[in-house]
Amino acid sequence: MFVGRKTEIESLNRLYNSNGFQFAVVYGRRRVGKTTLINEFGKDKKYIYYAAIQSTNSDNLKLLSTQILSVLAPEAPANPFPSFYEAVEYVFGRAESERIVFAIDEYPYLAGGDASVSSVLQAVIDKRHSDSNLFLILCGSSMSFMEKQILGYESPLYGRRTAQYKLLPFDYFESGAMLPGFDNIDKISLYSITGGIPEYLARIDNSLSMQKNIENLFFDPSGRLFEEPSNLLKQELKYPETYNAIVNVIAHGSGKLYEIASKAGIETSQCSSMLNSLIELGLVRKEYPASENKSKKTLYMLNDWMFVFWHRFVQPNYSRIITGMGNTVCNEVVSGQFNSHIGRAFEECAKQYMWRMQKNGGLPLLFKDIGRWWGNNPRERREEEIDFIAYSDDMAIFGECKWQNERVGEECLDDLIRKADLFVKFKEKHFYLFAKSGFAEKTVKQAKKRGNVVLINAEDMF
């Protein structure tokens, strides 16, 4: 079942239905659904799909030739083209009289093995694009390669693409569409362990309970996600053990550069460089206090909830899981600190909800950005934190999120209003409370009385 990516599919089909040559670049981190997207787009069209492999140029050319000829000349002998140039020329030539979709997946493997491939494509595109109906797609998982070697200014292909799609993980709402049979609380919980990655969501069995799915995926040595973070780092980076140490430190709550470097046992300069590599992969992000410009309070945060979950709960229990105690470990996790993990992810879900509501025109103001805030309270001489501020010029929405079984009391709203008083630059203020289990009667009454307070249950978010 194909779920999500409606905007991308509609855009690709709009380009397909226009005349002339089109060149789309599709990229994003591994498991995010790039191949599924382009195959869904190409399924009812004359479609050549080739996934490059990490092998010799000769092997790639043989396999590419086979794919081209199987679609465009199935009756011809399956002899490989003499060169990549002639293979591409042939496809462009055939596309003079008909619309053909030609997708090369894992393009970095092909171009990485032969540095001339991009220059060859450039030459054929420049020669043929005006009289061809080819729809070319280059797809890849190496974010830095795709952005620098295809989209970058110094790339031979710079300026040739007609569209680009950077695929991001699903948000909690899109993830929920892949989880039929689960209630909305479980959908948020499952989002917190998959990070919205479609390939992981597809592994969830809706005939089993949430806890049993978690056990099967993470706490079984044969589980799909038991070693996934380590395997991803091995695929993408040199020195994966050092990167793994950096990620582990961040997952356990350290976000300042010097803290990460110290706890990972490396020099600060090396740590900074490696963090930049993790940012390029989409696994780490920099975070600043919302509404503060050029803040020196930079924190590094993991950008993938599956990585957070794995490093907090799977890696520390690796030996016990290997020796057959996965069920015991899973029970301990679900009955212990799992709610605190979901609570952190719930804050991210709330921000996604705010973006979704803004798009639908459902907010009291249009905000420019949204993010967590932390800083000093000079009046009370203590550190404060606000789950999110959505702000624009002199207006802001202050948000608090509570993932707890008890209904949220009025003291939570009072505390949020108190912290919002620190921000005198915002003349118009609104308050949003998000709760797993609803709100106490006094909280509801106070919200109605103030008029600028919105209360949102987890159920309301769907």
Answer whether residue 350 shows pLDDT above 90.
yes
**DSSP secondary structure letters along 370-394:** EEEEEEEETTTTEEEEEEEEEEETT
pLDDT at 110: 93
3-state secondary structure of 274: helix
Answer whether residue 156 shows pLDDT above 70.
yes
* Angstrom distance (rounded) from CA 56 to CA 217: 35
pLDDT digits (tens, 9 = 90+) for 184-236: 999 999 999 999 999 999 999 999 999 999 999 999 999 999 999 999 999 88
pTM: 0.91
C-alpha distances in Å from residue 415, one per residue of 418, 421, 435, 449:
5, 10, 15, 17
Confidence of residue 352 (pLDDT cuts 50, 70, 90): very high
* Angstrom distance (rounded) from CA 462 to CA 454: 16
Confidence of residue 379 (pLDDT cuts 50, 70, 90): confident
3-state secondary structure of 457: strand
pLDDT at 76: 82
Confidence of residue 115 (pLDDT cuts 50, 70, 90): confident
Percent of the chain clearing pLDDT 90 (strictly above): 90
Domains of the chain: 6-166 (3.40.50.300), 208-336 (1.10.10.10), 343-461 (3.40.1350.10)
Looking only at the bridges linking them, the beta strands covering 428-435 and 395-402 are: parallel
Tell me what the pLDDT averaged over the chain comes to: 95
Answer whether residue 409 shows pLDDT above 80.
yes
Confidence of residue 399 (pLDDT cuts 50, 70, 90): very high
- Stretch 54-65: mean pLDDT, rounded? 93
pLDDT digits (tens, 9 = 90+) for 309-339: 999 999 999 999 999 999 999 999 999 999 9
Answer whether residue 295 shows pLDDT above 80.
no
Going by C-beta distance under 8 Å and a sequence separation of 6 or more, which residues neighbour residue 403? 339, 342, 343, 346, 436
pLDDT at 378: 86
Percent of the chain clearing pLDDT 70 (strictly above): 100
Alpha-carbon radius of gyration of the chain: 25
Lowest mean pLDDT among 88-92, 117-121, 262-266, 379-383: 379-383
Instruction: Find tokens 């900074």 and name the residue.
Output: 272
Integer distance in angstroms from the first to the last C-alpha of the chain? 20
DSSP 8-class letter at 81: P
pLDDT at 294: 66
DSSP 8-class letter at 20: S
Cβ atoms of residues 260 and 271 within 8 Å: yes
pLDDT digits (tens, 9 = 90+) for 429-440: 999 999 999 999
Nearest to 52, CA basis, from 106, 101, 103: 106
pLDDT at 77: 81
C-alpha distances in Å from residue 426, one per residue of 390, 395, 397:
11, 5, 10
pLDDT digits (tens, 9 = 90+) for 20-44: 999 999 999 999 999 999 999 999 9
Cβ atoms of residues 199 and 280 within 8 Å: no
Confidence of residue 381 (pLDDT cuts 50, 70, 90): confident
